[in-house]
Amino acid sequence: MLRKIKKKTLNEIADMICGNFDQEKSFFVYRSSSYLTEFFEDCELDGYVHDGSTRKWWVVGILEDILSMPATNHHLLSDGFISVIRELMDKADAVNEESDRSNALTQLNISLNREGFEAFYDEGNVCQIRNTETNTSSIGISSPQRAWTAEERKTRGDLEAYLDNASEDEITEELLLPLFRQLGFQRITASGYKDKVLEYGKDIWMKFRLPTLHNLYFGIQVKKGKLDAAGKSKSTNVAEIHAQLQMMLGHMIFDPETNKKSLVDHAIIIAGGEITRQAKNWLGERLNASQRSQILFMDRNDILDLVLTHKIPLPNDLVQNPENSVFGDDIPF
């Protein structure tokens, strides 16, 4: 969604990119024509070559163009603009201050706060942007289909051990609920043990608000282990999932925010283990075309990829009692 940013704010950020300040007092690197071109190349934004015009006004025009690019999360600015802020605030470019760049960060936030945003450094010393109204941050705006660092691979292994030992409710409350909140879902409601009788096939229901202000409703069924089509195996019998899907798709949920009942638009089947191709095929053969288009799947790999990419914190009890956890002594997050 295209976000409108005041001209004054763009002018100020353009000055920071150019370094248009007294160089003895400036907290930003001075960039001449060729270095401005290099700056946007480093942001992985190709095609922006300085044309010899006034540097500041050229940068303002580029920023306006970048702001019109797509945003992964509609609560934030465009992904391209976030890349610009990250490059601008690289700690290696500290000038006239300590390497934490606290003065530069303060100056940047005077401009961003005007628009309802705030810049901050994450645990990896990468500058991120947060929407101050929704608290949605740019942490995790990167592809989960990437190479993992050694630390991330270790964390992934620890999380796999956690999934092997955790119950369905623990997986739901300690991993899935924080993940869906980070992804921008709203009104996330978990049934829990007390409400199992009335859950109508849903462990969780939630909604996602589109940029058009329309709401999509999701029902989620969570299973601890492997989901297979073999009825006599130790895997969860997919026939049970089929019955729960029928209830989920046919039962209306009440949204107190709109004071209306709505049918579930999509059902998400989440497994702490593998969801086999046989299980997906078995379900597909028994659902009609309309129902098949409503079903989404998430298995263990999907959970791990998203949790790592979006920096979801460890479950509270594991953090508080590391000696009793499968994560060992070193907390990987």
Q: What is the pTM of this model?
A: 0.54
Highest mean pLDDT among 101-115, 132-146, 268-282, 318-332: 101-115
Q: What is the pLDDT of residue 31?
A: 94
Q: pLDDT band for position 330 (50/70/90)?
A: very low
> Cβ(59)–Cβ(17) under 8 Å?
yes
- pLDDT for residue 321: 52
| Per-residue model confidence (pLDDT) at position 127 | 92
Q: Which of 24-33, 154-163, 174-183, 310-319 is predicted with the least confidence, judged by mean pLDDT?
A: 310-319
pLDDT of residue 237: 67
Question: Which of 10-14, 239-243, 279-283 tops mean pLDDT?
Answer: 10-14
Q: How confident is the model at residue 333 (pLDDT cuts 50, 70, 90)?
A: very low
On the question of pLDDT at 158 being above 70, the answer is yes
pLDDT at 62 over 60: yes
Rounded mean pLDDT of 84-99? 93
In the chain, alpha helices (H)? 7-18, 33-42, 55-67, 79-88, 102-113, 150-165, 168-171, 177-182, 238-250, 277-286, 289-292, 300-309, 316-320
Instruction: Give the whole-angstrom CA distance, residue 196 versus residue 246.
Output: 16
Q: Tokens 């078995």 appear where?
A: 282
CA torsion sign for 73, 146, 69, 114 is positive
| Higher per-residue pLDDT: 172 or 317 | 172
Given pLDDT bands bounded at 50, 70 and 90, which one contains residue 141? Answer: low
Query: Is there a contact between 56 and 10 (Cβ–Cβ < 8 Å)?
Result: no
**Phi/psi at 66 (5° precision):** -65, -35
pLDDT of the residue at 331: 39
In the chain, the amino acid numbered 322 is P
**Percent of the chain whose predicted confidence (pLDDT) is above 70:** 84
Beta bridge partners of 228: 237
* pLDDT over threshold 50, residue 211: yes
Q: How many CB atoms lie within 10 A of CB 85?
A: 21
- The predicted model gives 189-218 an average pLDDT of 70
Cβ contact 103:111 at 8 Å: no
Q: Given pLDDT bands bounded at 50, 70 and 90, which one contains residue 188?
A: confident
Would you state the pLDDT for residue 57? 96
Taking 80 as the threshold, does the pLDDT of residue 316 lie above it? no
Place of tokens 């601008």: 88
In the chain, domain spans: 7-131, 150-324
- Biggest CA pair distance of the chain: 76
Sequence-distant (6+) residues with CB within 8 A of 248 are 200, 201, 202, 219, 221, 264, 267
C-alpha triplet 158, 193, 275: angle, nearest 5°: 50
CB of 186 within 8 A of CB of 206? yes
**Is the pLDDT confidence value at 233 over 90?**
no
Q: Using CA atoms, how far apart are residues 45 and 82, in angstroms rounded to an integer?
A: 11
Q: 148 pLDDT band (50/70/90 cuts)?
A: low
- pLDDT exceeds cutoff 90 at 107: yes
- Span 13-42, average pLDDT: 93
- 237 is written with which tokens? 């019998």
Strands laid side by side in the 215-223 sheet? 186-190, 204-209, 215-223, 266-271, 295-298
CATH 3.40.1350 fits 150-324, yes or no: yes
Is the pLDDT at 90 greater than 60? The verdict is yes
- Predicted local confidence at residue 100, as pLDDT: 92
Q: Span 272-279, mean pLDDT?
A: 86
Residue % of the chain over a pLDDT of 90? 28
Out of 79-93, 143-157, 252-266, least confident range: 143-157
The tokens describing 108, both together, are 């940047």
Model confidence at 157, pLDDT cuts 50, 70, 90, reads: confident
